[in-house]
Homo-oligomer: A and B are copies of this chain.
Amino acid sequence: MAAKAEAGLFDSIFLADQLALGDDIVSGPRTGLEPVTMLAALATGTKRIGLIATASTTYTEPFNLARQFASIDHISGGRVGWNIVTSWLATAAGNYGGDKPVSHADRYARGEEFMTVVKALWESWAEDAILDDRAAGVYARPGAIKRIDHQGDFYQVAGPLNVPRGPQGRPVLVQAGSSETGRDFAARHAEAIFTAQMEKATAQTFYKDLKARVTAAGRSVDQALILPGLSPLIAGTEAEAARLADELGTLTDPEVGRKRMSARFGGHDFSHLPLDKPLSVEDFPDPETIQAARSRTEVIVGLVRREKPTLRELLAMLAGARGHHVFAGTPEQVADLMVDWFEDGAADGFNIMPPILPSMLEIFTAEVVPILRARGLFRSEYEGETLRDHYGLNQP
């Protein structure tokens, strides 16, 4: 799949993650290999495409994470990105010594200090640290590799990192938090921001808000790219696309979806709701009461408020793309939607989530990309070598 995305000249691929097995493993292979090792393996199997993996600041030692990502940046020739997450699943906490998840505020306080540590580690080797003068027997310049001596509330890390500075200086930093705290975190640190937006209006509001926060944080808005998810179901005609969407909907199991939605809403019981009656906002707990991944629940409740779907319809919408924008149409319609969002201040680019793999990735590459290219909005070949090059990001 990575090779297909590379053949299609995508900027990058992205691996999500979850630190515990879900109950729904009985119904489907909803688990993958561990993303960091997977990324290292894909670095050998690809040449130009960017490689982004999710890793948690909550249950990883900063020295280990900084070191593994620096290694992959070397292995891939400067193509690695890190999707920074804080872990909120209670089942994940159970795999790391906790009997309950870390609170939202604590997760972000720890995450903030984690960023200070890993950034310092990635900067602990000066750019010209390696001299490699073999005749003189000198490998590194004395003084060009420095301890970081971090002493904080959560972490004490001496450093320096024991891996030389990578080709990108540090991985491209990606983030997807959408709460108030999450947006401020993204504004301070993220160079690419993934976001789930089910419609253009909310995407525009999010875009404007986040760019304002980036400016307030003293950063340039073109160094924090906003990339909403988009799950395009593509067919030759609008009618055929609609038929395909219906067919996918009938393949979902509403009882599996009901359980997943319950987990998303902090264990709220949805078992009494009939499948085929229009939902109302009162059927859901107030998103304000949700400790974890609150913003995704706000997206869902917003959709219920606007569109009043039945539970069956809602679960079908959430089944594949899980709260991201789902769109069924012709290649022209998909391209039009992307251009519209891009030109109208809703997106700097997209995280394409093909609803069927690999076929919908192949169709997107073959049918949608040429339209975007004809409009001057998609490359004809890779121009740079690194993920920073592909995204137009500065070297730290």
Contacts and interface: CB of A to CB of B under 8 A. Distances in A.
A367 interface: no
Interface in A210-225: none
A28 B131 CA distance: 10
Given A41-B75, A44-B41, A68-B34, A21 B162 contact: yes
A38 interface: yes
A369 B97 CA distance: 49
Interface in A3-62: 18-21, 25-31, 33-34, 36-45, 59-61
Interface centre among A33, A99, A160 (most CB of B within 10 A): A33
Given A18-B162, A99-B156, A132-B29, A72 B37 contact: yes
A302 to B, nearest CB: 30
Interface in A139-184: 139-142, 145, 155-164
Interface stretch (A88-96, A261-269, A313-321, A378-386): A88-96
A336 interface: no
Interface residues of A, number: 61
B75 A37 contact: yes
A188 interface: no
A164 B59 contact: no
A70 interface: yes
26 contacts: A18-B162, A19-B63, A20-B162, A21-B162, A25-B140, A26-B139, A28-B137, A28-B139, A29-B132, A31-B164, A33-B71, A33-B74, A34-B68, A34-B70, A34-B163, A36-B40, A37-B37, A37-B40, A37-B71, A38-B75, A39-B40, A41-B72, A44-B44, A63-B95, A63-B96, A64-B64
Nearest 10 pairs between A and B by C-beta?
Answer: A94-B158, A40-B40, A44-B44, A34-B71, A37-B40, A21-B162, A33-B71, A37-B71, A63-B95, A40-B41
